[in-house]
């Protein structure tokens, strides 16, 4: 990951890692690991959140696509969760998806 544009934006905005963490909703430890090079290839969603927080992404690209109301409500709720609870939700969703796929494959065999 190219860190120079991020470093430059942080310097220009006089923004600390703590402020970037709050603005991007990325844990401070994650930002420190990325910026120090410990995490050389962070998730695309993490990079996007950091760049969006630093206004390195044009506004038209940062506007989310309209979601159905139930999906938007779920996303809004998820975004309010802390990191640990987000991990629980993700793990639970994966389990539910696996069970759904198993059930679907049973019905296809019949």
> pTM for this structure?
0.54
Q: 1-63 sits in which CATH class?
A: mainly alpha
Q: How many CA atoms lie within 13 A of 4 on its CB side?
A: 1
Residue among 68, 24, 37, 102 at smallest CA distance from 16: 24
pLDDT of residue 110: 59
pLDDT digits (tens, 9 = 90+) for 24-68: 999 999 999 999 999 999 998 899 999 999 999 876 555 556 778
């Amino acid at each position: 990951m190219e860190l120079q544009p991020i470093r430059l934006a942080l310097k220009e905005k006089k923004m600390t890692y703590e402020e970037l963490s709050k603005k991007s909703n990325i844990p401070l430890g994650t930002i420190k690991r990325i910026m120090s090079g410990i995490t050389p290839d962070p998730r695309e969603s993490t990079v996007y959140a950091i760049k969006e927080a630093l206004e390195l992404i044009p506004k038209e690209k940062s506007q989310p696509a309209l979601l159905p109301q139930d999906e938007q409500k779920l996303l809004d709720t998820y975004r309010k969760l802390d990191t640990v609870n987000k991990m629980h939700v993700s793990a639970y969703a994966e389990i539910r998806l696996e069970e759904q796929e198993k059930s679907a494959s049973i019905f296809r065999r019949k």
